[in-house]
Structure 1
């Protein structure tokens, strides 16, 4: 008789995420990583379980000591930002760990791997507040605060971030834009450019048998934050076109105020769920993405259901959109350029054939491709067990 075969177990992979405080593109990535490596332990500096979507809503997340601090659920990044490097360095990993993968736009790369275990990092962007985002208006107005900002963030943290990026066994970028920042700030070459995962097939399947009435109107939505440029979009919005903006976030009151001043702009201050997105995208003549992003998952989602996207040539827009085929690329957000883009969208024939062509252009971003590629990368760096 042949000896009974022992079941083959997946190697253990420790996954490090910056923090679970809201659901966005970074959380979609860590969700896909958890699917790619089901035998995992998940770590994050802060964890608010209620924001996690399925299947991560049932995951056990090991959070740092900061998660227990007072006000950690309201002002964690403002108050405790200085302690984030220490929080990540405090994590201890199980002895069976064969590889550590961090996905980070902050200090996730500061973890200390056990001897013999490699640490590879999915970089969403080098930390914006350290490298390429200006300090707040309040800091610019106050010379003392400006001095402290430069001393703590501009000097010590920047050097430390650079050194930790240099010690990673490997890093890969989520887009060409991020890869260029890695080369500029870290003086390293990413081993690969791996675009964030998108549920492209799932989005298309939701609309497979539906007849969608397309409005001669335009849509913009997402997290309502200052850097997302929804306020600027309203200010330059051309007359004669209808715009709906939907979402929640810290800049909602300002966007609502501006929308109330323009009868052609409607603001819906509520969260748009993943199940609502496909039909919402498909029912408008165009989707606007008015900020320069590292990548831009929602642009892929919109194009996947046949909706042309208007965004910038710089950043993720230039990688995702084929100009005057799957959308319209702007050099800058002006009323003149925006008017041309809106007119182009209104002239597009939204047929079944067009939707299939759009979907074909986006299928390379599907989550299945991401999982396949990240497993290939991980196999090169796993510790033999």
Structure 2
């Protein structure tokens, strides 16, 4: 096989194209490294205004694209997705990337093709989060629940089998690498996803940084309620809450009568940037596979106070681990733990520099991602596995 990347025939297989989000950023950066690549996806319903990262490419889709009601309900065809992804003809390519959080890694490749799977996460709802998924979906009992359990059992078997077709696993964090090891019994290299650190930068004229900030979609697992509860019990400290979602009514009820808590709702990027740049610290209470918003806050020079599980362990330099900390990690998802950590943060705040936070965030920049991908593919193309 040729080692000249410009002549290597590259395919990128993405799960589905519906919205431009974190996994699509990865595809966009892969396309920046391999501009000659072709893109495949189970379905493509991405709005025209969000397609710029595809560079006008025609996307090859599967038969699910044309099934009834697929535009709005393609996830209902989950049981057909393993079959669909196996039908993609990738025989003309030297190097195949799969962008996987469900079934993309199940593509079929030959012995002279290299298959690199960038894993955002193994299928959460089929593995360790199955119980939570069934409960949240109201599928713990009844015939429909029994059918879904059977379907997820079948998908788990296929998921493990299809892992044998991957030559190199790449995880987006050490946490996901551990999940890959647990599920597939395979080691994974860690290449963190690209973050647009240029869009989040240090303030030209920083304010006093008095208020704490929590931002994100208000859904149960984000645990914004814990942050609000903690600050409701710390009336001397101000909290700004950005975002909306199904938990919004609960959040508003918790914040009622607490003048130190300001609810902003959903705000444009320019306002979020200003709030991040001028926050005393960014507070984060959920367990994430990676945690892009943590990097964005650090890129603004803002310390992060986060639950110490998941991708946050890769991002936040805690004062117990670094002489130049960029934030603190708390051990329990509870208001008490958050309060205790904030009190400690106030004592060590002067040890954290804006530039130190910014420098830490640059480890996760788009340029860093491209460099790691180039190093990986250069090694594979020249040395093999």
- With the length of structure 1 as denominator, give the TM-score of the two structures: 0.84
- 1: distance between equivalents of 2:101 and 2:255? 35
The match for 1:52 among 43, 50, 53 is 50
**How do 1:76-115 residues align onto structure 2 when only pairs under 5 Å count?**
76-77=74-75, 79-93=76-90, 95=92, 97-113=93-109
Secondary structure at the residue paired with 1:311?
strand
Shift of 1:161: 0.2
Where do 5+ consecutive residues of structure 2 fail to align? 320-324
Secondary structure at the residue paired with 2:190?
coil
- Give 1:195's aligned residue: 192
- Give 1:126's aligned residue: 122
- Give 2:32's aligned residue: 35
- Give 2:322's aligned residue: none
- Give 1:171's aligned residue: 169
- Give 1:319's aligned residue: 314
Secondary structure at the residue paired with 1:203?
coil
Single out whichever of 303-312 and 43-52 deviates more from structure 2: 43-52
- Give 1:331's aligned residue: 331
State whether residues 98 and 383 of structure 1, in contact with CA within 8 Å, keep that contact through their aligned partners in structure 2.
no
**How do 1:1-385 residues align onto structure 2 when only pairs under 5 Å count?**
9-50=6-47, 52=50, 54-56=52-54, 58-77=56-75, 79-93=76-90, 95=92, 97-113=93-109, 116-133=112-129, 134=131, 135-137=133-135, 138-139=137-138, 141-153=140-152, 155-190=153-188, 192-201=189-198, 203-204=200-201, 207=202, 210-237=204-231, 238-240=233-235, 241-249=237-245, 251=246, 253-255=248-250, 257-258=252-253, 261=256, 263=258, 264-270=260-266, 272-273=268-269, 277-324=272-319, 325-346=325-346, 354-382=353-381
Question: Cα–Cα, structure 1 residues 123 and 298, in superposed 2: closer, same or farther, change >3 Å?
Answer: same
Question: Cα–Cα, structure 1 residues 349 and 253, in superposed 2: closer, same or farther, change >3 Å?
Answer: closer
- 1: distance between equivalents of 2:377 and 2:9? 11
- Give 1:4's aligned residue: none
Question: Cα–Cα, structure 1 residues 89 and 164, in superposed 2: closer, same or farther, change >3 Å?
Answer: same
State whether residues 108 and 165 of structure 2, in contact with CA within 8 Å, keep that contact through their aligned partners in structure 1.
no
Shift of 1:359: 1.9
Question: Cα–Cα, structure 1 residues 67 and 365, in superposed 2: closer, same or farther, change >3 Å?
Answer: same
Secondary structure at the residue paired with 1:298?
helix
- 2: distance between equivalents of 1:272 and 1:168? 40
- 2: distance between equivalents of 1:8 and 1:374? 12
- 2: distance between equivalents of 1:8 and 1:84? 31
Aligned residues: 368
Q: CA RMSD in A?
A: 2.9
Single out whichever of 283-292 and 60-69 deviates more from structure 2: 60-69
Summarize deviations over 1:15-40 as a string: whole Å, max 9, x none.
Answer: 11112223332222111111111111
Where do 5+ consecutive residues of structure 1 fail to align? 1-6
State whether residues 214 and 282 of structure 1, in contact with CA within 8 Å, keep that contact through their aligned partners in structure 2.
no
- 2: distance between equivalents of 1:175 and 1:8? 26
Single out whichever of 14-23 and 170-179 deviates more from structure 2: 14-23
Question: Cα–Cα, structure 1 residues 233 and 371, in superposed 2: closer, same or farther, change >3 Å?
Answer: same
Shift of 1:367: 1.6
State whether residues 259 and 265 of structure 1, in contact with CA within 8 Å, keep that contact through their aligned partners in structure 2.
no
State whether residues 139 and 145 of structure 1, in contact with CA within 8 Å, keep that contact through their aligned partners in structure 2.
no
State whether residues 298 and 357 of structure 2, in contact with CA within 8 Å, keep that contact through their aligned partners in structure 1.
yes
- 2: distance between equivalents of 1:163 and 1:106? 14
Shift of 1:94: 6.8
- 2: distance between equivalents of 1:187 and 1:83? 25
